[in-house]
Amino acid sequence: MQNKDGSVGAVPASGDNELAELGVAAAAAAIRDGDITSESYSAALLRRAREYSDLNSFITIDESAVLAAAKDADKARAAGSSAPFLGVPIGVKDSYTTRGLRTTLGVEALESFVPTEDSDVVGAVKNAGGIVFGKVNLVEMSFGLTGNNSRYGQVKNPYGQDHVPGGSSSGSGASVAARIVPAALGGDTVGSIRVPASLCGVVGFKPTTGRWPTGGVAPISHTLDTTGILARSVEDCALIDQVVTKDVAAPRADRSDLQGARFAYAPRQYMELIDPETEAHFKDTLMRLRDAGAEVVEVDLGEDFSSLADRLTWNLFFRETMESVTEFLRQNNFPVSFDEIYNDLKPELKEVWSHLVLPSGQGYLAHEAYETTLSVDRPELQRRLSKVFTHTGVDALLFPTTPCPAPLIEHRSRFTVAGEEVSDLFLAKNTVPTSGAGLPGISIPIGLTGQGLPVGLEIDGAHGHDRKLLDLARRVESVFGTLPAPA
């Protein structure tokens, strides 16, 4: 972790652990009620960030700016402010522009760039009283699922520091799990919020694509990209979603039981290759949901569902990168060009871009195939997933967020699941269809493996039904509770 003021570590003050356990809603309420001050809370989190700096979850923290903002929040509270996030620090993925705080996108060419404007979501959080705690680590240009950044280092999983945290919002997942911050903004194109949420044992919410603003956030694919949030409770995700979108149309239901809830699961599509412990946790989850009063039905999405989802999503992912990144750099006055970003990439990523992202690459998708992906393949995927809700009357689709727990860092590129060797892209195997169709999805932790690694459950809702999904996820969460903090 790099601190702008060059400060060094300190011994945590007593009570820091109790403060660090507070979520966004709880911390905001405690500050509003005068039980704690933003300054004391922020100082405790800063001490914790130093204590857990070996996780490498942050690229930049400006401690003096955090404390100054906290003091301002305390003054605002004394003057009568009741802003939703008043005085609560939140981590921000370093793909979001932040006024006055450097934004690197995870690449060396931007290690000194300081934007003059906030991204739209960061602006909304600040307007609600929130404080930018720092910029969390990520994979270069958000291209990767294991948290490995050649310039700013490998992020480590708090539940097992020799294991990956997931990506690309790797620092977001690790910092929230480690109780450094109560929540962190992330971005999701094929699973970059939900994968680290699953592997780090926190809650990760990917809104319906287009629901959250993306202005000022480095893109990959303008069709697939969405901003979102990682936190330790569904309640906190729902609160942040409400503030960012100003959606107050669907207030939270009072009920916490699952009577009358209907879920679908599709084992043929989401459990074809799966880690045995993950499978056992998922099957136990289905049983516990039934015991809690929910109805769970099995569905089949078609023999070619996975190949359809993989093909169209990865086609859009790579085909739209160059145009999206080029336009973003221009619109946001970044002092680099696309070519400079490309030339600065680590060798293995540069090779991928040269083959799939550059128009000169052998794997670059032709215009006709791209149009077919948008006009034929994507609508077909959306039709099949929509049919799950309209024809069966279910409220949500369930599946293991990741088909396996976090692999070892030393095996991050190639590892074995149920006796079969897979690549790191396998971590997004189950999250890809949700992204391809643009549906809302949320990952919640449902337990730990024998090694103490988290297992995640993804709950997907119908397109545009985000508030209903969040309320349903809160009710599911009540069955499982939250994971214990990492040792």
Q: How many CA atoms lie within 13 A of 395 on its CB side?
A: 20
| Token reading at 47 | 């001490």
Exposed, middle or buried, 53 (CB in 10 Å: 0-12/13-18/19+)? middle
Q: How many CA atoms lie within 13 A of 467 on its CB side?
A: 13
Q: For the chain, state the CA radius of gyration.
A: 21
Please write down the HEC assignment for all residues of 255-303.
CCCCCCCEEEECHHHHCCCCCHHHHHHHHHHHHHHHHCCCEEEECCCCC
Instruction: Verify whether residue 423 is a known catalytic residue.
Output: no
Q: Would you state the structure tokens that stand for residue 438, as one six-digit string? A: 């643009």
Full DSSP string of 341-405: HHHHS-HHHHHHIIIIISTTSTTPPPHHHHHHIIIIIHHHHHHHHHHHHHHH--SEEEEESSSS-
> Of these residues, 42, 192, 221, 233, which one is catalytic?
192
Tell me, yes or no, if 168 is annotated catalytic.
yes
Chain-centroid distance of CA 250 in Å reads: 23
> Is residue 71 among the annotated active site residues?
no
Half-sphere exposure of 254 (CA within 13 A, CB side): 0
Question: Of 38, 95, 119, 168, which one is the catalytic site residue?
Answer: 168
Catalytic residue among 38, 42, 57, 93: 93
**β-sheet bridge partners, residue 459:** 398, 442
Query: In the numeric block, which tokens belong to residue 226?
Result: 């969405």
In degrees, to the nearest 5, what angle opens at C-alpha 362 toward C-alphas 357 and 368?
A: 75
For residue 253, the Cα-to-chain-centroid distance in whole angstroms is 25
What is the secondary structure of 151-185 as a DSSP string? TT----BTTBTTB---SSSHHHHHHHHTTSSSEEE
Active site residues: 93, 168, 192
